[in-house]
């Protein structure tokens, strides 16, 4: 696929003609509401089919293969050429598709019950794991259950592995005291592990994701010990264990969110980890990119020194944020889908800009009351930049937060870049 960024004055028929595709193909892939109107800066995904190259005077098979990043042997085989010296100007070569790296893809979803079924059905072909969010621990080691049965059933029908999500926090409570009580009581830990195993058997989960956040710094070793005993116990039962980790820049990083997350220990003990590389642009903070790639790379630069690369899933948020500006302390941004963000831009005819440092798109508009807004979201360019980063660092894969926010370009582009591992 090709990413085309709309220029001022361009019409959809011109873009379709340029790439020899139909207008309907572009409209359907990008879910355009009105094909007669295009916004400058809108990144469109173009389905181009097989790539071709017309031989020029002086070209050699080796030069052409190098240009497209394929082997000369594959280029010859694709075009049934026996003698590489017998190519002439004007000869149209079909460029073979490069092998796609195989990755794991996880997605969290807090849409549960029957509401989860169409969401999981649509995403299923692109997922290795599905993690309904989430089971909350109690002080006595019991669990607060969730309505995850429908999501799990649909995951199995799509060949997706259900992964149980375990947390110590709620939207309003950070959970550090709850974690302290549980992690330092061996009897409670034993009860908690029994309840985890029983729930996994009952619901059909094949693995567990432990997402303990805001753990007190003094509980770092207690958390490591809990992780080790849980991994050993669940491995004996045939389950895998992953963890979610705050985005750290070094082993010495201070702060309640970071200090108890021991990257080397999690990298050694867990089967894989999810790096929560998002929320720089959080709803209660200043407007900025939610998942800025420059910050993500700083996290990865540290992570790969202490965690095996084939154990790392890079986090990728697939939602947008709409802030009122100028920002005032206490304001909260609205969390919306990427498609909602695009619709807002078209509703207000707001030109879309792209920040190349964070590799993120954004735009401004005024609402009906005259309030100024700044919206940061994701598009095909920012998604491709993240996919390229996964390839560059040789990571295990990607973990999405969270399913249910419409981003029509994401999964087709993901499939264009990777082979999704199915277990």
**Spatial CB neighbours of 68, under 8 Å, sequence gap ≥ 6:** 51, 53, 75, 95, 98
Task: Indicate if 236 belongs to the active site.
Answer: no
Residues 176, 213, 295, 406: which is the catalytic one? 213
Max alpha carbon distance in the chain (Å)? Answer: 78
8 Å CB contact between 243 and 260: no
Q: How far apart are CA 202 and CA 266, in angstroms?
A: 27
Please list the alpha-helical segments (H only) found in 204-250.
220-236
Task: Read off the tokens for 403.
Answer: 């399913």
Radius of gyration over alpha carbons of the chain, in Å? 24
∠ Cα 384 390 392 (to 5°): 100
Nearest to 156 by CA among 132, 139, 182: 132
What sign does the dihedral 343-346-348-352 (CA atoms) show? positive
SS3 104: strand
H or E element in which residue 77 lies: helix 72-78
Catalytic residue numbers read 213
């Amino acid at each position: 696929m090709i990413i085309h960024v709309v220029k001022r004055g361009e019409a959809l028929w011109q873009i379709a003609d340029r790439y020899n595709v139909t207008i309907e193909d572009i409209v359907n892939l990008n879910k355009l509401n009105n094909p007669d109107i295009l916004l400058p800066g809108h990144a469109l995904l173009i389905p181009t089919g097989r790539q071709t190259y017309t031989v020029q005077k002086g070209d050699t098979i080796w030069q052409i293969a190098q240009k497209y990043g394929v082997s000369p042997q594959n280029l010859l085989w694709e075009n049934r050429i026996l003698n590489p010296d017998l190519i002439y100007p004007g000869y149209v070569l079909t460029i073979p598709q490069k092998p796609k790296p195989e990755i794991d893809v996880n997605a969290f979803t807090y849409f549960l019950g029957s509401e989860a079924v169409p969401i999981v059905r649509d995403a299923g072909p692109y997922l290795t794991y599905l993690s309904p969010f989430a089971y909350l621990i109690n002080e006595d080691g019991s669990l607060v259950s969730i309505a995850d049965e429908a999501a799990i059933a649909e995951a199995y029908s799509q060949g997706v592995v259900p992964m149980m999500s375990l947390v110590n926090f709620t939207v309003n409570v950070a959970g550090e005291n709850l974690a302290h009580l549980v992690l330092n009581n061996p009897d409670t830990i034993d009860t908690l592990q029994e309840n985890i195993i029983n729930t996994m058997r009952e619901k059909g989960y094949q693995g567990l994701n432990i997402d303990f956040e805001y753990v007190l710094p003094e509980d770092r070793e207690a958390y490591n010990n809990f992780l080790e005993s849980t991994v050993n116990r669940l491995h004996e039962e045939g389950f895998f264990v992953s963890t979610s980790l705050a985005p750290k820049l070094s082993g010495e990083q201070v702060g309640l969110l970071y200090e108890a997350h021991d990257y080397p220990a999690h990298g050694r003990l867990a089967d894989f980890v999810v790096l929560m590389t998002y929320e720089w642009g959080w709803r209660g903070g200043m407007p900025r990119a939610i998942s800025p790639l420059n910050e993500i790379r700083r996290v990865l630069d540290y992570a790969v020194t202490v965690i095996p690369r084939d154990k790392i899933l890079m986090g990728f948020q697939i939602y947008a944020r709409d802030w009122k500006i100028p920002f005032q302390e206490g304001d909260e941004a609205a969390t919306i889908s990427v498609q909602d963000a695009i619709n807002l831009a078209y509703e207000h005819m707001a030109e879309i800009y792209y920040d190349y440092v964070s590799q993120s798109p954004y735009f401004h508009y005024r609402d009906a009351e005259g309030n100024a807004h700044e919206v940061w979201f994701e598009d095909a360019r920012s998604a491709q930049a993240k996919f390229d980063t996964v390839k560059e660092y040789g990571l295990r894969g990607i973990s999405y937060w969270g399913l249910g926010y419409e981003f029509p370009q994401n999964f087709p582009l993901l499939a264009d870049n990777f082979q999704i591992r199915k277990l």
